[in-house]
A and B are shown apart, each in its own frame.
Chain A
């Protein structure tokens, strides 16, 4: 399992604090990320026991999580799970009913103004002024911040250079989305909160957006990403919290979640000659051995494939026509999340 928590060296950290929260242009390489150990990490967002109701509907019942400096943290969950409400409380747009939130050491309610200078937000819904061009919109938002980014560079970085003088209403969905991301970044934030980043984008635009988000993370911005796309979380997130019915039901790296909650790995093969099931059933990695005609299906966890091949070799059996299936984040998600329309026990995983 990859250790993916983004941590930078302490001297960099000091630099940030001295600069009073201005984003320092620190380049994070993936190497430094892997070398860094978890114990050096410090949280930039701490949420504990968050509760929020709208009237009699409890949107968030109990959410606790910590987002570490420099990581992409995903909040994953079905529609109506409380993802958006959670990030709205974190960004200070809503007042929680209970629990505590600390963002960069600030209270989103008490320190609204200080927080808004240092946290960029991209909202799930909403449009910008149709009568303004890309450059006018970015410049307008830049004027709101004490130390804005260079708007020309930002527009180029987001690939909107050719569209800088195009009116908002003339932009494609992907271009509007990139403009929206630009506005979340124009204040040089330490944290960017992005809600439903790629909903409604075509596959090409989604991949471009993902590359962009990785580039932003590599510039040292911590990213809190709300999504219901498994591939997006798998590709981008260092860690994910799965939220269901207002509670965090799991929190781990995407790989860790898939392994732990995804129902294990599966392999199918045709043995070169019959063998005693106990050869495999006795292995620690194996949970279940089944025969499907001439083929054998084995389910288990960990290094299932290598363990099975070694055990078969030891008794002189070859595995032919091998098919492998690893648990994915999606498997884990489906097992973790209670579908609203039927009981959990009816959920099947591949």
Chain B
């Protein structure tokens, strides 16, 4: 039997990707892990920190002068990123693989990587919303001045997002199940957020610690974002560090991703 294969369309309809993204957004709304951890938690911490009078003071010797609160804004953005990229994204993806949903998709004209793309889009959108809430909240209510070097700030935030999403996808790629994904994600999460300065601000770290921090994606990210907030374009080194994390882990994730 000769099939008129050549006349058939080869690609799934364009509406498939749109539909997948809308559907994943619905799922993210109905099972709001990313929403709770990646948006709500950082915003609550912002409110708590913002209510502390001591943090409104200018850091002695800072040049140009910044308040303690200002230094926390990039750290909170780092918190948004670890929660969304290292918790929400890998756990949902690994669950979909564990429940053979990725495999189910691969029996249709849609490749399972489309679901991956839809997940990245939805989580990226969540991260952007959370970052905007943090910046807007900090500037409107807690006397933090808006990033003076906006272009540099956006570039730094995007590179940090790329680095963290690459690590999250790497976790999703290698984790055999949801539990492993949670453990691996957490293993990355705490050092990342520590070196970003959630507990000890980078300014207060010892020289050695700060050197280590400079080479972690969020340490570099906080460094780059803070310089943009203070009005200068971020130095090249933190930008390169973030780009390197993004490329290395992104390639590893692509190479190692298991679909079933």
Please state if B31 and A127 are interface contacts (CB–CB under 8 Å). no
Question: CB-defined interface of B15-31 with A at 8 Å, one 1/0 digit per residue?
Answer: 11011100100110011
Q: How far is the CA of A139 from the CA of B7 in the complex (A)?
A: 25
Please state if A44 and B1 are interface contacts (CB–CB under 8 Å). yes
B3 interface neighbour in A43, A114, A116, A128, Cβ under 8 Å: A114
Query: Shortest distance in angstroms between A11's beta carbon and chain B's nearest beta carbon?
Result: 15
Q: Which residue of chain B is the closest to A142 with respect to CB atoms?
A: B19
What residues of A have a CB within 8 angstroms of the CB of B30 in the complex? Answer: 131
- Interface residues of chain B: helix, strand, loop or mixed (majority): loop
B106 within 8 A of A: yes
A21 interface neighbour in B8, B103, B108, Cβ under 8 Å: B8
What residues of B have a CB within 8 angstroms of the CB of A275 in the complex? Answer: none
Please state if B107 and A131 are interface contacts (CB–CB under 8 Å). no
B11 interface neighbour in A21, A113, A121, A139, Cβ under 8 Å: A113
Question: CB-defined interface of B197-230 with A at 8 Å, one 1/0 digit per residue?
Answer: 0000000000000000000000000000000000
Please state if A105 and B107 are interface contacts (CB–CB under 8 Å). no
A20 interface neighbour in B4, B13, B110, Cβ under 8 Å: B4
Query: Shortest distance in angstroms between A76's beta carbon and chain B's nearest beta carbon?
Result: 22
Please state if A21 and B3 are interface contacts (CB–CB under 8 Å). yes
Q: Which residue of chain B is the closest to A141 with respect to CB atoms?
A: B108
A145 within 8 A of B: yes
Q: How far is the CA of A200 from the CA of B38 in the complex (A)?
A: 39
Please state if A143 and B107 are interface contacts (CB–CB under 8 Å). no
A123 within 8 A of B: yes
Query: Shortest distance in angstroms between B55's beta carbon and chain A's nearest beta carbon?
Result: 39
Chain B: interface residue count, which band? 20 to 34
What residues of B have a CB within 8 angstroms of the CB of A44 in the complex? Answer: 1
Please state if A126 and B106 are interface contacts (CB–CB under 8 Å). no
Please state if A106 and B101 are interface contacts (CB–CB under 8 Å). no
Q: How far is the CA of A106 from the CA of B8 in the complex (A)?
A: 12
Please state if B12 and A144 are interface contacts (CB–CB under 8 Å). yes
B236 within 8 A of A: no
Please state if B13 and A136 are interface contacts (CB–CB under 8 Å). no
Query: Shortest distance in angstroms between B47's beta carbon and chain A's nearest beta carbon?
Result: 29
- Chain A contacts with B in 189-214, Cβ cutoff 8 A: none
Q: How far is the CA of A144 from the CA of B106 in the complex (A)?
A: 11
Query: Shortest distance in angstroms between B9's beta carbon and chain A's nearest beta carbon?
Result: 5
Count of chain A residues with Cβ under 8 Å from any Cβ of B? Answer: 38
B258 within 8 A of A: no
Please state if B16 and A143 are interface contacts (CB–CB under 8 Å). yes
Please state if A121 and B107 are interface contacts (CB–CB under 8 Å). yes
Instruction: Report which residue of B11, B23, B109 has the largest number of chain A beta carbons within 10 angstroms of its beta carbon.
Output: B109
Please state if A114 and B108 are interface contacts (CB–CB under 8 Å). no
Please state if B31 and A114 are interface contacts (CB–CB under 8 Å). no
Q: How far is the CA of A20 from the CA of B8 in the complex (A)?
A: 7
Question: CB-defined interface of A13-49 with B at 8 Å, one 1/0 digit per residue?
Answer: 0000100110000000000000000000011100000
Q: Which residue of chain B is the closest to A107 with respect to CB atoms?
A: B5
A346 within 8 A of B: no
Q: Which residue of chain B is the closest to A13 with respect to CB atoms?
A: B1
Query: Shortest distance in angstroms between B49's beta carbon and chain A's nearest beta carbon?
Result: 33
Q: Which residue of chain A is the closest to B14 with respect to CB atoms?
A: A143
Question: CB-defined interface of B171-200 with A at 8 Å, one 1/0 digit per residue?
Answer: 000000000000000000000000000000
Q: How far is the CA of A183 from the CA of B108 in the complex (A)?
A: 10
Q: Which residue of chain B is the closest to A184 with respect to CB atoms?
A: B107
What residues of B have a CB within 8 angstroms of the CB of A117 in the complex? Answer: 8-9, 109
Please state if B13 and A105 are interface contacts (CB–CB under 8 Å). no
Query: Given contacts A21-B4, A91-B107, A114-B5, is CB(A140)–CB(B12) below 8 Å?
Result: no
Please state if B108 and A116 are interface contacts (CB–CB under 8 Å). yes
B63 within 8 A of A: no
Please state if B107 and A136 are interface contacts (CB–CB under 8 Å). no
Please state if A129 and B109 are interface contacts (CB–CB under 8 Å). no
Please state if A127 and B3 are interface contacts (CB–CB under 8 Å). no
Q: Which residue of chain B is the closest to A121 with respect to CB atoms?
A: B107
- Chain B contacts with A in 86-120, Cβ cutoff 8 A: 96, 99-101, 103-104, 106-110
Query: Shortest distance in angstroms between B117's beta carbon and chain A's nearest beta carbon?
Result: 14
A111 within 8 A of B: yes
B62 within 8 A of A: no
Please state if B104 and A126 are interface contacts (CB–CB under 8 Å). yes
Q: Which residue of chain B is the closest to A43 with respect to CB atoms?
A: B1
Q: List 6 A-B contacts (CB under 8 A).
A: A93-B107, A116-B107, A123-B103, A129-B101, A143-B13, A145-B13
